[in-house]
Amino acid sequence: MGDQIETVQAMMNTVTEFFVTYSFQVVGAIIILIAGFIIGKWVGNLVEKLCKKKDLDVTLSGFMAAIAKMLVIVFAVIIAMSKFGITIAPFIAMIGAAAFGATYALQGPLSNYGAGLAIILGRPFVIGDTINVAGVFGIVDSVKLAHTSLTTEDGVAITIPNKHIVGEIMHNSKEFRIIEGMVGISYSDDPEQAINTIQETVSKIDGITADPAPQVGIENFGDSSVDIGYRYWVPTQKYFETMHTVNLAVFNSIKEAGLTIPFPQREVLVTKNAES
């Protein structure tokens, strides 16, 4: 029983000695940390406001504000640690070593952030543009540091890691997308009549842009038909809807004009060797 009392007494003496020795350091460290968080938040808001005044991208503004806030907080933590007699140099060396190792472990995410920063600064596209990249297309809905979000005509959200955008071939058609079609007519039909018929039909469809105007002409001379190609521009949000409407209208107008859409034909010649 006496040993237990002595143990408890020793612990209380240690705690008392700690608070007597380090009480002011602990209070000072807490004050520094609280001030660091408050000043960091204030600096972050200030940087974000300055970025908005300079009309910088929203994503870039948020990123710079977060970096400024984090730097202030880290600086406050380092000062608070020094209050306890902790040497800063080993701590900085440890952070450097950890960052070096994390570079390899987080190579994929870091490359996405770097690519996102390049997109924000270079602005190869903005929100509302239609882009075709990495085998998908859609309207740009948002640009983040890690990824870019697209929305299709069907309302499907597509998320593309930014590293798959930077350095790749990308098509940016702004708010429109081009549609290409082709229909074959018989060699005995008048191609100029077919071109005029398709031109009039396409021009009457709602949603097709007048500038640039639809293009119609002979695209190919096939084995069984003269292929008439047509191209037109539509808002990306009505891509498939307009394409289906135009194809049906072209088919009906070709038939009403008395033109023929031939099916593939092959001539087979059968020979028989004469008996000896």
Q: Domain coordinates of the chain in residue numbers?
A: 2-105, 125-172, 177-256
As given in the structure block, the two tokens for residue 82 are 């020094």
The H or E element spanning position 18 is helix 2-53
pTM of this prediction? Answer: 0.58
Task: Please tell me the predicted confidence (pLDDT) of residue 22.
Answer: 61
Report the CATH number of the 177-256 domain: 3.30.70.100
Show Cβ contacts of residue 156 under 8 Å, excluding neighbours closer than 6 positions: 138
As given in the structure block, the two tokens for residue 35 are 């001030």
Q: What residues of the chain score a pLDDT lower than 70?
A: 1-6, 8-10, 13-26, 56-60, 82-109, 265, 267, 273-276
Helices (H) and strands (E) in the chain, counts: 6, 8
Task: Please tell me the predicted confidence (pLDDT) of residue 227.
Answer: 94
Predicted confidence (pLDDT) per residue in 145-192, tens digit:
788 999 988 888 999 999 889 888 899 988 888 999 999 999 999 999
Show Cβ contacts of residue 163 under 8 Å, excluding neighbours closer than 6 positions: 108, 111, 112, 114, 115
Task: Please tell me the predicted confidence (pLDDT) of residue 58.
Answer: 66
Task: Please tell me the predicted confidence (pLDDT) of residue 220.
Answer: 92
Contact 185, 144 (CB under 8 A): no
Report the CATH number of the 125-172 domain: 2.30.30.60
Task: Please tell me the predicted confidence (pLDDT) of residue 105.
Answer: 45
The DSSP line for 190-242 is -HHHHHHHHHHHHHTSTT--SSSPPEEEEEEE-SS-EEEEEEEEEEGGGHHHH
Report the CATH number of the 2-105 domain: 1.10.287.1260
Task: Please tell me the predicted confidence (pLDDT) of residue 252.
Answer: 94
